[in-house]
């Protein structure tokens, strides 16, 4: 099996190299037959890499400990579900999945452009294959997931305990990978336009929908990561400003900026240089994030074990930056756009401000994340930058972003009729003011918290009002029901739905960061404590010997102050053979407003007494729900329009035109 996997990966590399050469030569000489053969290579690579993944999966499931990766990351007693997950539990295995997803994206591009191909397509295809070649070289060279052991052990080590503690591990990495790797497609088309020196406006329409899909994956991936952290790590929070969390947020911020500024280029022919720089930046940051995680440069819960892939990632990052920004410098004269802002208070002005703020947030986070590296390179001292820096410096920027999200949708393109904009702002502003007054009245004195709730209300009401307003106009004009009205302004409505989700997320983050409570208590069996208006009683310990671990489960009954039973909490501790310390599993009673969260810290006297940490977290579920709404809005915006063969924007325009014609007809 080890040999089969190795040969499959080698074959995939050969096919990719051919694809790269054929596409590049085809682009240069304009020979369509070569380009077509390169396009077909995409499917060959996909099938081969999929077969390599299947081989590893089979090896994991059949306890093939002669393969070192299997011996290191699986064991006989590991449940089948977690055996399968071990495919991406460590560095070299996750590179298999990484290659598979990249091959999938290239095949999707190959399918999408099977007939109508923009002139930049061959260039884009060669960039895509170049990236695939890099990742296949990594996996054939330094990573080698199929490396074998001379003396296969009788049993493997099993997955890292933290990774076999929750099923969320099944979905968080693949979603994040789908988001990360997806940036290769916009990057490839951007670079292709620069290489070809043409289509410098066309490429943004070609990849807007791709970017939206990638953005949705990344949003969901980040959310699932936060959810995993909240549900597994037992510290009561969901975002720790860990370096690897930060570097996943950076491409998200840049792609969010891009999805807004792309409208400037589509509608007004502005921001050509800006957009291409954003896409190259997002791809470079994605590579940078991968480098940080896998080269084990910074300390993080996500860091993979020491591997030899660091220098290769660094070289690839240098190449991406040099090629990307070098090409931008080369084509600079053609990237300048004549159009400029008519008025600062307009939709264009708002998009420019939005981009500045998102970039400022990204810069602050990047600075905080890389600061330890800079300090150590200069002075040799080890430092860490913690949550307080990020929270205090990023919060004002995020508040301004909310202010913009709550007002910009009311502004028209070009110049603004101020009195009209102010009239539309009346309801949202009143709602925001009321919420702020209510918050302050309830005793909250932190200005950022009051502002956070107020601005979340502003965004929510503005978005809601604009969606409802759009529907009402649609009904009056069309008399054909709301569905058509929704379709007519789908892009705008979908964007507003994303903003609705954003408002919920903002409210959830504000609430959970500022209004939560926590307490650490030690209870004897039968003893109780009052926390957050509820009586928590330690009922006792239950030990469960499972094949792969020993689980110590405590039972804590929850009684309302009125005396009614509200259920139980069962925080656990899991002892895994390969871990020195027990791994805790928190127990959470989720509610619409409040979560009651319990972590087992330690046990004394064989469970006769136990130390718990209890948290009462408000708004955490708004965050999950809001994130889901954002992703759904993104999917709605990316959904193909009725004419599948026209590019995203042309399609939307065609639908708009058709609707206008129908509206005029008797």
From candidates 80, 333, 338, 547, binder to other proteins by CB under 8 A: 333
- Supply φ then ψ for residue 468, to 5 degrees: -65, -40
* DSSP collapsed to 3 states, 252-301: HHHHHHHHHHHHHHHHHCCCHHHHHHHHHHHHHHHHHHHHHHHCCCCCCC
Is the four-CA dihedral 253, 259, 263, 264 of positive or negative sign? positive
Q: Quick check: 329 binds other proteins (CB under 8 A)?
A: yes
Element (H, E) at 617: strand 609-618
Closest of 120, 148, 117, 3 to residue 645, by C-alpha: 117
Tell me how far apart the alpha carbons of residues 384 and 93 are, in angstroms, rounded to a whole number.
30
Q: And the tokens for 280?
A: 């190259």
Beta strands in 219-263 (DSSP E): none
Smallest distance, Å, CB 81 to other proteins? Answer: 21
Q: Which stretch binds other proteins (CB under 8 A): 208-216, 320-328, 394-402, 538-546?
A: 320-328
- Supply φ then ψ for residue 99, to 5 degrees: -65, -35
Site track for other proteins across 348-387, x = CB under 8 A? ----------------------x--xx-xx----x-----
Beta strands in 549-608 (DSSP E): 550-560, 565-569, 572-575, 583-585, 587-589, 594-604
Nearer to other proteins, 66 or 438 (CB): 66
Smallest distance, Å, CB 337 to other proteins? Answer: 18
Q: Quick check: 296 binds other proteins (CB under 8 A)?
A: yes
- List all residues 6 or more positions away from 614 whose beta carbon is below 8 Å from its beta carbon: 518, 519, 520, 521, 531, 532, 536, 596, 597, 598, 599
Nearer to other proteins, 153 or 469 (CB): 153
Site track for other proteins across 563-582, x = CB under 8 A? --------------xx-x--
Q: Quick check: 14 binds other proteins (CB under 8 A)?
A: no
Site track for other proteins across 138-177, x = CB under 8 A? -----------x-x-xxxxxx-------------------
- List all residues 6 or more positions away from 112 whose beta carbon is below 8 Å from its beta carbon: none
User: What SS3 state is found at 541?
Assistant: strand
Q: And the tokens for 193?
A: 């336009």
Nearer to other proteins, 303 or 411 (CB): 303
Q: Quick check: 269 binds other proteins (CB under 8 A)?
A: no
Smallest distance, Å, CB 304 to other proteins? Answer: 11
Judged by CB under 8 A, the chain residues 406 through 435 that form the site for other proteins are: none
- Which alpha helices (DSSP H) does 183-271 contain, by range? 184-196, 202-232, 243-268
Tell me how far apart the alpha carbons of residues 441 and 446 are, in angstroms, rounded to a whole number.
12
Site track for other proteins across 521-560, x = CB under 8 A? ----------------------------------------
Nearer to other proteins, 29 or 543 (CB): 543
Q: Quick check: 604 binds other proteins (CB under 8 A)?
A: no
- Give the total of residues touching other proteins (CB under 8 A): 43
From candidates 304, 325, 625, 639, binder to other proteins by CB under 8 A: 325
Tell me how far apart the alpha carbons of residues 31 and 33 are, in angstroms, rounded to a whole number.
6
Q: Quick check: 335 binds other proteins (CB under 8 A)?
A: no
Nearer to other proteins, 562 or 580 (CB): 580
- Supply φ then ψ for residue 338, to 5 degrees: -75, -30
In total, the chain counts a number of residues equal to: 666
Angle formed at CA 648 by CA 634 and CA 269, multiple of 5 degrees: 100
Cα separation values, 265 from 202, 250, 337, Å = 10, 23, 9
Tell me how far apart the alpha carbons of residues 167 and 79 are, in angstroms, rounded to a whole number.
12
Judged by CB under 8 A, the chain residues 625 through 654 that form the site for other proteins are: none
Smallest distance, Å, CB 507 to other proteins? Answer: 36
Most distant CA pair in the chain: distance in Å? 84
Q: Quick check: 291 binds other proteins (CB under 8 A)?
A: yes
Smallest distance, Å, CB 657 to other proteins? Answer: 41
Nearer to other proteins, 81 or 330 (CB): 330
Tell me how far apart the alpha carbons of residues 198 and 192 are, in angstroms, rounded to a whole number.
9
From candidates 247, 285, 298, 573, binder to other proteins by CB under 8 A: 298
Smallest distance, Å, CB 150 to other proteins? Answer: 8
Smallest distance, Å, CB 200 to other proteins? Answer: 17
Nearer to other proteins, 280 or 507 (CB): 280
Binding site for other proteins (CB under 8 A): 68, 71-72, 75, 149, 151, 153-158, 291, 295-299, 303, 306, 310-311, 314, 317-318, 321-322, 325-326, 328-330, 332-333, 370, 373-374, 376-377, 382, 577-578, 580
């Amino acid at each position: 099996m080890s040999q089969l996997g190795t040969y499959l990966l080698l074959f995939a590399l050969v096919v990719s190299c051919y694809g790269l050469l054929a596409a590049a030569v085809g682009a240069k000489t304009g020979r369509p037959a070569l380009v077509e053969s390169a396009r077909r290579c995409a499917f060959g690579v996909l099938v081969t890499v999929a077969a390599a993944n299947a081989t590893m999966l089979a090896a994991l499931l059949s306890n093939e400990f002669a393969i070192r990766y299997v011996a290191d990351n699986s064991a006989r007693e590991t449940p089948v579900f977690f055996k399968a997950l071990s495919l991406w539990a460590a560095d070299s295995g996750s590179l298999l999945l990484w290659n598979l997803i990249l091959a999938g994206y290239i095949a999707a591009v190959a399918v999408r452009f099977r007939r109508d191909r923009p002139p930049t397509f061959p260039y884009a295809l060669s960039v895509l294959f170049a990236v695939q070649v890099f990742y296949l070289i990594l996996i054939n060279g330094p990573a080698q997931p199929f490396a074998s052991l001379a003396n296969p052990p009788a049993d493997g080590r099993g997955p890292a305990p933290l990774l076999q503690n929750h099923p969320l591990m099944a979905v968080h990495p693949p979603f994040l990978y789908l988001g990360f790797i997806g940036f290769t497609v916009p990057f490839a088309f951007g670079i292709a336009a620069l290489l070809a020196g043409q289509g410098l406006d066309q490429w943004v329409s070609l990849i807007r929908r791709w970017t939206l899909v990638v953005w949705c994956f990344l949003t969901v991936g980040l959310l699932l990561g936060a959810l995993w952290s909240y549900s597994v790590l037992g510290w009561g929070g969901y975002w720790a400003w860990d370096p690897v969390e930060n570097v996943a947020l950076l491409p998200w911020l840049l792609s969010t900026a891009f999805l807004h500024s792309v409208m400037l280029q589509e509608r007004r022919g502005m921001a050509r240089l800006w957009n291409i720089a954003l896409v190259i930046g997002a791809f470079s940051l994605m590579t940078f994030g991968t480098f940080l995680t896998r080269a084990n440069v910074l300390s993080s819960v996500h860091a993979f074990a020491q591997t030899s892939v660091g220098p290769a990632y660094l070289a690839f990052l240098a190449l991406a930056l040099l090629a990307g920004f070098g090409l931008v410098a080369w084509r600079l004269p053609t990237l300048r756009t004549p159009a400029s802002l008519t008025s600062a208070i307009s939709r264009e002005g708002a998009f420019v401000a939005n981009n500045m703020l998102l970039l400022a947030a990204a810069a602050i986070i990047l600075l905080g994340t890389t600061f330890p590296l800079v300090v150590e390179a200069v002075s040799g001292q080890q430092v860490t930058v913690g949550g307080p820096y990020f929270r205090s410096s990023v919060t004002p920027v995020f508040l301004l972003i909310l202010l913009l999200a709550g007002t910009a949708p009311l502004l028209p393109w070009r110049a603004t009729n101020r009195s009209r904009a102010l009239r539309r702002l009346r309801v949202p502003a009143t709602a925001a003011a009321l919420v702020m007054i209510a918050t302050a009245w309830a005793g909250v004195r932190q200005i950022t918290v009051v502002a956070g709730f107020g601005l979340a209300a502003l965004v929510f009401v503005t978005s809601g009002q604009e969606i409802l307003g759009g529907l009402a106009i649609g009904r009056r004009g069309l008399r054909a029901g709301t569905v058509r009205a929704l379709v007519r302004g789908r892009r705008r409505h979908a964007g507003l739905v994303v903003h609705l989700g954003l408002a919920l997320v903002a409210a959830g983050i504000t609430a959970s960061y500022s209004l939560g409570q926590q307490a650490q208590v030690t209870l004897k069996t039968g003893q109780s404590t009052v926390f957050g208006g509820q009586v928590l009683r330690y009922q006792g310990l239950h030990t469960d010997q499972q094949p792969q671990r020993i689980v110590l489960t405590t039972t804590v009954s929850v009684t309302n102050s009125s005396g009614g039973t509200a259920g139980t909490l069962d925080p656990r501790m899991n002892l895994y053979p390969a871990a020195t310390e027990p791994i805790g599993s928190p127990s959470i009673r989720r509610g619409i407003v409040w979560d009651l969260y319990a972590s087992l810290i330690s046990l004394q006297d064989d469970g006769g007494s136990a130390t718990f940490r209890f948290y009462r977290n408000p708004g955490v579920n708004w965050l999950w729900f809001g994130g889901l709404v954002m992703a759904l809005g993104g999917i709605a915006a990316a959904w193909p329009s009725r004419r599948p063969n026209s590019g995203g924007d042309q399609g939307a325009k065609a639908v708009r035109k058709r609707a206008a014609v129908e509206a005029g007809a008797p």
